[in-house]
A and B are shown apart, each in its own frame.
Chain A
Amino acid sequence: QKEVEQNSGPLSVPEGAIASLNCTYSDRGSQSFFWYRQYSGKSPELIMSIYSNGDKEDGRFTAQLNKASQYVSLLIRDSQPSDSATYLCAVNYDDYKLSFGAGTTVTVRA
């Protein structure tokens, strides 16, 4: 099991603002990185995957990866109340396995 650390929440942002979520990981050999969104009482839902250094944009979500610093982040632009959820960072290690962070809870206030 490899370590994945996320910034502790909860994170409260006003509607329309940018929410910034951070994640660091311990295994330098990791090549695949994911962000999952989990609404209260529901299962994790994959929202972003990133494999190369740099930025990857998908709608209002941008994932950023820096393998040298072992750092991956998620930006949520124009935050909406529907973005209120817990966001899980996941990083691959060994074959077939993902290690998950404990999650950061985001609350978007109207």
Chain B
Amino acid sequence: NAGVTQTPKFQVLKTGQSMTLQCAQDMNHNSMYWYRQDPGMGLRLIYYSASEGTTDKGEVPNGYNVSRLNKREFSLRLESAAPSQTSVYFCASEMTGFEQYFGPGTRLTVT
């Protein structure tokens, strides 16, 4: 079991470029999440998917879109990257009971 995997591990973008962060889980979990983590601010929820076929906004959704491709995969897209989106992005998944398991993260720098 690989758990939750994320690609890429690191990425540098120029302002205005687009990219998609990929996330996959092999634990047969129903719910998946995207967070960003900035120094001193903890983890903030960007989007989540309670089940295959559904997605909902979290606390900081502006500038992002998501796709729940199937039960395993949940991608996060930045259409036009901005320096304010420089952060570490974590994907997480959960079966029930709010116990979330995190992927290794993607460190994104927007210049």
Task: Give chain A's interface residues, CB within 8 Å of chain B.
Answer: 1, 4, 32, 34, 42-46, 49, 88, 90, 92, 95-98, 100-103
Contact = CB atoms under 8 A, between A and B. Distances in A.
A47 B97 CA distance: 15
A98 B98 contact: yes
Contacts of A100: 42-44
B66 to A, nearest CB: 14
Interface in B53-111: 58-59, 90, 94, 97-105
Nearest to A86: B42
Nearest to A95: B50
Given A88-B43, A97-B58, A102-B40, A46 B100 contact: yes
Contacts of A97: 45, 48, 58
A102 B99 contact: no
A92 B100 CA distance: 11
B2 interface: no
B interface, size bucket? 20 to 34
A46 B99 contact: yes
Interface of B: 31, 40-45, 48, 50, 58-59, 90, 94, 97-105
A8 to B, nearest CB: 10
B104 A42 contact: yes
Given A1-B59, A96-B31, A97-B58, A46 B45 contact: no
Contacts of B90: 43-44
| Complex A-B, nearest 5 residue pairs according to Cβ-Cβ distance, in ascending order | A43-B102, A100-B43, A102-B42, A100-B42, A32-B98
A4 B42 CA distance: 10
A49 B102 contact: no
Given A34-B99, A96-B31, 19 more contacts: A1-B44, A1-B45, A4-B42, A34-B98, A43-B90, A44-B90, A44-B102, A46-B101, A49-B97, A49-B98, A49-B99, A88-B43, A90-B100, A96-B48, A97-B58, A98-B98, A102-B40, A102-B41, A102-B42
A43 B104 contact: yes
Nearest to B60: A1
